[in-house]
Amino acid sequence: MRVADQYLAFVNGVPESKIALTDRGFQYGDGIFTTLPVIREQPVLLGRHIARLQRDCARLSISFPDEHVLRREIETICRQSSDSVLKIMLTRGSGGRGYRPPLPGATTRVLTTHPLPNYPEAYRQTGIRLARSEINLAINPVLAGIKHMNRLEQILARSACSDPDIQEILMLDVEDYVVEAGMSNIFAVRDKLLQTPLLDRCGVSGVMRAHVIDIAQAMGLRVEETRMRVESIQQAEEVFLTNSLFPIWPVRCFESRRYDSWPVTRLLLDSMPEWRF
């Protein structure tokens, strides 16, 4: 069913815009999701997104649905919404009151499409402004890397930043290590070494982050996942952000630090022609 003129929604393979009030995704944020662009009916990097969903389901002991069924539903909704954003949500399904999951559980599959974001081309060409968030991320290795449905830390962080000239926010953990940006992962470049925060204690392991790491290594660039302080961002020659919908934004300004050129960032961005939309 069309939620609005440019939106579609499927629940468990059926055109529908409602889920049960007892669904644990609604009740507790007990689920995972991923978001990706659809270009000319083709979901970009779908295999990587499905692999991430499978890993996250396994870590949370959520039953992963039949992959052939899920792919068929994705193909169907993409044919009806050619150039769009596809969001795939998997929840633990319905259950009674209380935290203990029902056994056996029946995973709920929700697919929705949305208009592609209309980001200014200047973000990609001349970079964005990055500011430090007032909200720090809690350390919880059990959930580290998972794109689960509870995004309250990111919501609070974004709400606390009211400056319209700030496009993204840098998020640290409670020990003041760099983790990620509000809706993206972060890389710092120095002497052709790409550094990105280690995500073993908190943060989201993004699909585009993994894709960029693979591309960089195939180009012969060194990549290091490591603990990073704010000084690593301030002292870098280049800083860029990754997200499946950008896919790469150079950072032109972080606090008082300005970055004037991004040769490595440009090299990576030029290797992704499929994102020219």
Bridge partners for 111 per DSSP: 10, 88
Catalytic residues: 35, 147, 180
> Of the candidates 239, 251, 188, 193, which has an alpha carbon nearest to the alpha carbon of residue 219?
193
| Secondary structure string (H, E, C) spanning the chain | CEEECCEEEEECCEECCCCCCCEHHHHHCCEEEEEEEEECCEECCHHHHHHHHHHHHHHHCCCCCCHHHHHHHHHHHHHHCCCEEEEEEEECCECCCCCCCCCCCCCEEEEEEECCCCCCHHHHHHCEEEEECCCCECCCCCCCECCECCCHHHHHHHHHCCCCCCCEEEEEECCCCEEEECCCEEEEEECCEEEEECCCCCCECCHHHHHHHHHHHHCCCEEEEECCCHHHHHCCCEEEEECCCCCEEEEEEECCEECCCCHHHHHHHHCCHHHCC
Structure tokens at 152: 């309250």
Q: Assess contact for 35 and 117: CB atoms under 8 A.
A: no
